[in-house]
Structure 1
Amino acid sequence: MTDVDLRKLRYFVAVAEELHFGRAAERLHIAQPVLSRQIRALEHELGVQVFARTKRSTELTPAGRQLLDDARPLLSSAEALRRRAVQAARGPKTFTIGFMPGITVTQAVRAFEALRPDIDVEVLRVTTLDQVQVLYDGRADVSVVRLPIDQRGLSIRPLFEEPRLAMLPADHRLADKPALDLADLADEHLLQHADQVPEWRDIAIELRSGRPRPLPDLNSVEEKLEHVASGRGISILPLSVAAYYQRPDVNAVPVNDLSPNKVCLAWLASRRSRTIQDFATVADNVDWTRPR
């Protein structure tokens, strides 16, 4: 049985994400020949080829794609182990709560601090891209997430639901409507992936041409709204997010047949600490919808 070297796995993930040995070497701050040797050593240890290399391209083999799927959570778990060990060595326990934009965790934090004065509480703003990842890599102990997410390996506790709104340019033909139906938006370019708005598949997400338009790389609500205001598309946001990020060149319009956004507390199912359970109990008793 061969023990997998985590350093080699990190090198592999960098190459797999860049699909270019030179760029991956720069990202890792090592020489390219060293990186190539480490990848060959990993392939020898595993007994499989993970990259198909030519003079012009680097592609993942089927074995490489499987290894990438498995390597990411393994590396995240290793990083989480390191973080928790360091925290334990520092003395007083720190409990970190991740939260998505538009969600206020103040009431829950205060109630938890009153219940557990022995705990130092920290908060961490997360995004759609990392609201679950922060649990796997140890940056957060719990995360207040917005569904949908991949729930495998997680414990999920529902907290509340809220309406979702269509964010339109202020000069859009529908911007002054009191409410819309999804069918009214069938020809609009959605500035987020369809799995974030499942109903969109039912209103011709691939548009009349039958081909989806490419999405820009948007990592924040602010970036989405900049594109909306510029007339490059529309976005669907939960009510609290739309209210928090109000701007005069973007209108928020209710959509009658959009299901509400579900907000949940999530943590790793493998973690059964009393601290997490105490916070979950506190979260159950907080009125998350009360105006703040």
Structure 2
Amino acid sequence: MRYFVAVARHLHFGRAAADLHIAQPVLSRQIRALETELNVTLFRRDKRSTELTGAGRQLLSDAVPLLARADALRRRVARAARGPDRFVVGFMPGLIVTDAVRAIRERHPGLTVDLLRTGWNDQTDVVHDGRVDVSYVRLPVDKRGLTLRPLLGEPRVAMLPAAHRLAGKETIEIAELADDQLLQDPAAVPEWPVRSPAAPPTYAVEEKLEHVAAGRGVVVLPLSTARFYTRPDVVWARIADIPRNRVSLAWDSTRRDPLIAEFAALAEEFPAA
């Protein structure tokens, strides 16, 4: 199944084989074996291109979550083998989770609490695949398979190059950014006044701010993130007419671990921003 997903994403057997570090003939045999087992054709191939069939598109949509669940199963088994003495907390940039982490450590002196920094694209993936026990997430997220505990809301700000026409203003309205390029996933800013013809590349916060400083566009961030990444060539202005960013604690809805419930209560008690 992993071989199939690699070919489906590359739509090129040679590049998929290189990515998988196997020989192309081996990959081709594995795909033929899968097609034989399922009694379908998954790819249409000619000398110029490789395309997914209808059956291939359906398998791809099912295969990705299937592989994620398989990864999560392996991680859960490994976690069970380690015993109940390790707890992993995911957190988004700008969120300060120290107080809740310190409190859970004080309550459970033998517990090892680890932290994992996440980003917009993987803040819920780390829950589904078992890398973390709980994750501080910034909404909106896909809520399927998750339990969410609302924690807080905070203003959102526009990150602008220091020479921007709006630099120096304390607050602005979202419509004032209509002529600017949005340098982040549009799903993160559904209120954006103009949609780009194609989704812009996704960068880590540090990379986004490098592009902002270079005058290539703007990004919208929660206030705590903006304060965390202060730099002299980028300024911010609070956006007055869009909703606050909502932060929740997320965990796998199938888990009934008392430690998760205890940490969720602590997360409510100690704000993260």
- TM-score category by the smaller chain? over 0.9
CA contact (8 A) 1:127 1:219 kept: no
Structure 2 counterpart of 1:3: none
RMSD over aligned Cα atoms? 1.5
Report deviation, 1:92: 5.1
| Matched letter for residue 194 of structure 2 | A
Structure 2 counterpart of 1:56: 48
Aligned counterparts of 2:255 and 2:57: Cα–Cα separation in 1: 28
Report deviation, 1:109: 0.5
Aligned counterparts of 2:24 and 2:125: Cα–Cα separation in 1: 29
Does 2:189 align with 1:205? no
Report deviation, 1:25: 0.8
| Matched letter for residue 264 of structure 2 | A
Runs of 4+ in 1 over 4 A off after TM superposition: none
Choose from 93, 115, 139 the match for 2:107: 115
Structure 2 counterpart of 1:279: 263
Report deviation, 1:91: 4.0
Gap regions ≥5 residues in structure 1: 1-8, 207-211
CA contact (8 A) 1:166 1:252 kept: yes
Does 2:141 align with 1:149? yes
The C-alpha deviation readout for 1:160-209, integer Å capped at 9, x for no partner, is 11100001111011112221111111111101122110111xx2324xxx
CA contact (8 A) 1:129 1:219 kept: no
Choose from 42, 54, 62 the match for 2:34: 42
Choose from 221, 235, 241 the match for 2:225: 241
Structure 2 counterpart of 1:179: 171
Q: Give the TM-score taking structure 2 as reference length.
A: 0.95
| Matched letter for residue 224 of structure 2 | S
Structure 1 counterpart of 2:155: 163
Structure 2 counterpart of 1:224: 208
Aligned counterparts of 1:197 and 1:91: Cα–Cα separation in 2: 41
Aligned counterparts of 1:69 and 1:131: Cα–Cα separation in 2: 20
Q: Secondary structure at the match of 2:246?
A: strand
Q: Secondary structure at the match of 1:66?
A: helix
Q: Give the TM-score taking structure 1 as reference length.
A: 0.89
CA shift in 2, pair 1:214/1:143, >3 Å: closer
Report deviation, 1:277: 1.5
Report deviation, 1:227: 0.7
Structure 2 counterpart of 1:4: none
| Matched letter for residue 123 of structure 2 | Q
Aligned counterparts of 2:96 and 2:40: Cα–Cα separation in 1: 48
Aligned counterparts of 1:283 and 1:237: Cα–Cα separation in 2: 22
CA contact (8 A) 2:155 2:245 kept: yes
Gap regions ≥5 residues in structure 2: none
Q: Secondary structure at the match of 1:199?
A: coil
| Matched letter for residue 141 of structure 2 | I
Choose from 209, 227, 234 the match for 1:250: 234
Q: How many residues align?
A: 273
Does 2:60 align with 1:68? yes
